[in-house]
Structure 1
């Protein structure tokens, strides 16, 4: 049996009227539809739309760990703190979360002049509509570039420039940003392991002294690490080790951005 037999004529009439009205509205909706996709439109001056700017910002947030490792003081700090924990022999004390927090806050302290300059010269003019998106990004990278150049060894820049086939550069401003990032990360790794080597020496001396004393007493079955750990912790506390480490790490950087 047809469904039409169970519907009253008034209901069918109303449905026909609604369907007819929708058909009449379709041409007007099609004429009101935008002719292009506003999210990918660009102006004649090359300024990107708000949608593309938001997409770029979200993409930058996903690359935040790489930026944190490759453009700031975080790499040197976290490596030195990790080597210090190994030299003390305390296992997981302080924990990874504590070391990461200390490295992040010390990185923020060291990078604060660079961040302030980038905010003043790039973010504020962009928010005040004095700069468009692309020039603001370029000006925001200038303080980071200056900071990275101050920490990077010339030998590392020359090595990566030779690998990339880049010719002689007249000034530091001619160094491509990709070469600078690779050179900066290599220099930071080298500096971090140099500092870590110097940190290991006093603790290794304590381990050797304790091991020699135990050997002379015939206590070869007793672990030297278990006996030397309290002495290493006591030495580190007496010399105010954490303040020395944090202060030395902060002083090892050429702080501040280019005025």
Structure 2
């Protein structure tokens, strides 16, 4: 085979389509971590858990690997029904040749978009709709380039609101301990050193991990 035949075989439409599919697959795999973080419940969960650790005053306990692992498995638990819907209505029919690639994409995007829209504030959605200058009758008709950033900033606001609520009881303990130490004239003793065991004790007595995880899961339902 000469050079001309080799070039012709490489640039054939069928081979070009296969090459583009491979490139698309590699791109999706590369963006998979970003998709996981930005289009699921992962962002809210990991931020709330970070707020909780800081509120307790524990800088490295639990470690980052534990918090991220817990956030990941909670995300899998929350997103399991959506993943099952995508598998039943998009992946399986496409692999069996019952639907086209475009239909599979639309069937996969629909439940994920509905999940994000349920967690997105109307004000955040209106912001990106106005910036994109899009007019649609239903929110379900909005493109993903509008839904995704709206969902992200809504999740950030919700996570910060939950973090603020978590901080309040531990902040009260810090204030009480600091006031007691000042009244006793113990200015050289760091209040954090004394309040830390009390905050950990309070968190254990109220079964804090159970309450936080339960609130996070129910927040998405």
**TM-score, normalised via structure 1 length:** 0.80
- Deviation of 1:55 after TM superposition, in Å, equals 2.0
Give the distance between the partners of 1:41 and 1:232, measured in 2 at CA: 66
Give the distance between the partners of 2:142 and 2:6, measured in 1 at CA: 48
Is residue 128 from structure 1 mapped to residue 100 from structure 2 by the alignment? no
In structure 1, which of residues 33, 56, 70 is the aligned counterpart of residue 38 of structure 2? Answer: 70
Partner of 2:152: 185
Give the distance between the partners of 2:211 and 2:41, measured in 1 at CA: 17
Is residue 41 from structure 1 mapped to residue 13 from structure 2 by the alignment? yes
Displacement over 6 Å in runs of 4+:
none
Is residue 211 from structure 1 mapped to residue 178 from structure 2 by the alignment? yes
Partner of 1:22: none
Between Structure 1 and Structure 2, whose CA radius of gyration is higher?
1
Q: Which runs of 5+ in 2 are unaligned?
A: none
The equivalences for 1:1-259 within 5 A come to: 29-30=1-2, 35-37=8-10, 41=13, 49-167=17-135, 169-254=136-221
Q: Which runs of 5+ in 1 are unaligned?
A: 1-28, 255-259
The 3 A distance-change label for structure 1 pair 159 and 227 is same
Q: Aligned-pair RMSD on alpha carbons?
A: 1.9
- Deviation of 1:32 after TM superposition, in Å, equals 7.2
Worse-superposed segment, 63-72 or 111-120: 63-72
Give the distance between the partners of 2:20 and 2:101, measured in 1 at CA: 10
The 3 A distance-change label for structure 1 pair 54 and 133 is farther
- Deviation of 1:33 after TM superposition, in Å, equals 5.0
Give the distance between the partners of 1:209 and 1:114, measured in 2 at CA: 46
**TM-score, normalised via structure 2 length:** 0.93
* The structure with more helix, counted as a fraction of residues: 2
CA offsets, 1:122-158, max 9 Å, x none? 1101111112333222221111111001111111111
| 3-state DSSP of counterpart to 2:8 | coil
Give the distance between the partners of 1:33 and 1:163, measured in 2 at CA: 48
Query: How many residues are paired up?
Result: 220
Give the distance between the partners of 1:54 and 1:135, measured in 2 at CA: 19
